[in-house]
Amino acid sequence: MNNVTVGKIEVRNVNIYYGKFRAVKNVSISIPDKKITALIGPSGCGKSTLLRSLNRMNDLIPGSHMEGSITFHEIDIYEKSVDPVEVRRHIGMVFQKANPFPRSIYENVAWGARINGFQYRLGHPSMDEWVEICLRKAALWDEVKDKLRSSGLSLSGGQQQRLCIARAIATRPEVILMDEPASALDPIATLRIEELMRELAEEFAIVVVTHNMQQAARVSDFTAFLTMEEDRSGILVEYGKTPQIFTNPVDSRTEGYITGRFG
């Protein structure tokens, strides 16, 4: 397995359970900084479960628990002394379905800043400036600058997803997790999200779950292929640089999935 050396996030021997069912089995992976890591594999193999474990979103699911370690800046984020809300400020999340708040475009972004304790300080951006910065980073400013007080729900699906990305950026994260961020979008909006991901990777570590093999091949630097064992537990089969995974995979199961022979 072609693991990346020291990562932004280190996942070691992770098992994730829903009650007695083990959804993810013995996964170890290194998430590099300022790169895009794609998680691919058949439905039900634990991709989204693994993704949500990276910022403790699974904590919100009754009966779920994790064994192993996930470290961020060499701190185990599952230590009892670690506040999961603080974890999520540093490791943001963009969901499959765009979920802007039923408030103005401006307030959607400003809320993200406020929960991070935003306070104006001399020499730092004002809230208005920070909202603009985040919308620009999400490639949305030029489309919404004249209607910041309009509802975020008035935007198109692709614009709503970029607004959610701007909201995530507003907390000043170091990592952005994306769970099928373009699955509900048309091809043009999907391409814009993919272009945006490449731009964001210059500043953030990005981990994306996708069922779209072409998308994974286009946008990611590293790819992890997961599949299911007979007991339905998700396992990591292979992890490496995306060109190698897609053109010269080590494991026949990876080749079978990528070529469409199974999964």
pLDDT digits (tens, 9 = 90+) for 198-248: 999 999 999 999 999 999 999 999 999 999 999 999 999 999 999 999 999
In a domain, 162, yes or no: no
Domain that residue 94 falls in: 9-103+173-258
Domain count along the chain: 1
- What amino acid occupies position 72? F
Domain for residue 121, yes or no? no
pTM above 0.85, yes or no: yes
Would you say residue 195 lies in a domain? yes
pLDDT, one tens digit per residue, over 97-148 is 999 999 999 999 998 788 777 765 656 789 999 999 999 999 999 999 999 9
Per the CB < 8 A criterion, the answer to whether 108 and 167 are in contact is yes
> Is 155 within the bounds of a domain?
no
**CATH number, residue 91:** 3.40.50.300
Q: What is the 3 state secondary structure string of 54-113? A: CCCHHHHCCCEEEEEEEEECCEECCCCCCCHHHHHHHEEEECCCCCCCCCEHHHHHHHHH
Question: Is residue 120 assigned to a domain?
Answer: no
